[in-house]
Amino acid sequence: MLSPSLRLLDSEADYAACVRLQRLTWGAGFGEVVPASVLKITNRVGGIVAGAFADADLLGFVYGITGLQRGRLVHWSHMLAVRPEARDHGIGLRLKHFQREVLRGRGVGEILWSFDPLVARNAHLNLVRLGVRVEEYVPDMYPASNSELHGFGTDRLVVAWEMGDAAPSDTGSTHAVAGAPFVSGDEPADLAPPAVRIEIPPDIEAVAARSLEDALAWRAASRRAFADWLGRGYAVAGFQRDGAGRCSYLLTRPGAR
């Protein structure tokens, strides 16, 4: 298990390493790289650029900006990346908690960000390990992106992490609604169970590598399902990976038992 040190970036070398890691993560031709000059100013004026370091080597970083929403101080966490060889060691989770503790000390009440609902590992991190609240589903949130990671679209779930939330257990338990049906978004309008599940692939990047057409089909089906069930007043209540590797979101009706 890696045990990197976490701190705010504070040198030209740090910021240059962050730019390199952006390109490594989103592609050499990624047109939306945050330059070193903006990263430096972000830390100066109340945003956050923090990194996980092994000695002087940057293993991962989190980047976000602070502003106002409905008169309340909030933070938008725009980027989180970890070097491929350092993934699956909890570095992303530690960076999020470091970010939260810094912001808590500044009086920020809530952290917002978005993630691709088809990426199962990010759904698990956000909904199970961090316990965020899903605010909305946004189709094609970043249509101008030319990142190699965005070949099957940029639909996003926007989530909120309250500063006062207790850390959730890492179980993903949904035992009370274990019989909730899987849905595709094509069910008749009069079907209204207390809970439903929207399935996603365990590894959408692997699907896209084999067949972009299949990845786009997953995108279309999941977009239809989220739009339908969220439109009926359901809310995302959790995420689960079962013993067979099947991944799904749990959606429930407010007040349903």
In the prediction, which pLDDT does 191 show? 53
User: In one letter, which amino acid is 96?
Assistant: K
Helices (H), 4-56: 12-26, 36-44
The DSSP element (H or E) to which 216 belongs, if any, is helix 212-231
In the prediction, which pLDDT does 98 show? 96
The DSSP element (H or E) to which 210 belongs, if any, is helix 204-210
Q: List per-residue pLDDT tens for the chain, 257 residues long.
A: 678 999 999 999 999 999 999 999 988 888 889 999 999 999 999 999 999 999 999 999 999 999 998 888 999 999 999 999 999 899 999 999 999 999 999 999 999 999 999 999 999 999 999 999 999 999 988 865 555 555 668 899 999 998 875 445 444 433 334 456 676 555 544 556 789 999 999 999 999 999 999 999 999 999 999 999 999 999 999 999 988 889 999 999 876 55
Rounded CA separation 167/130 (Å): 6
User: In one letter, which amino acid is 47?
Assistant: G
Q: Is 212 helix (H, G, I), strand (E, B) or coil?
A: helix
In the prediction, which pLDDT does 254 show? 74
**Three state DSSP letters for 62-131:** EEEEEEEECCEEEEEEEEEEECHHHCCCCHHHHHHHHHHHHHHCCCCCEEEEEECCCCHHHHHHHHHHCC
Cβ neighbours, 10 Å, residue 69: 13
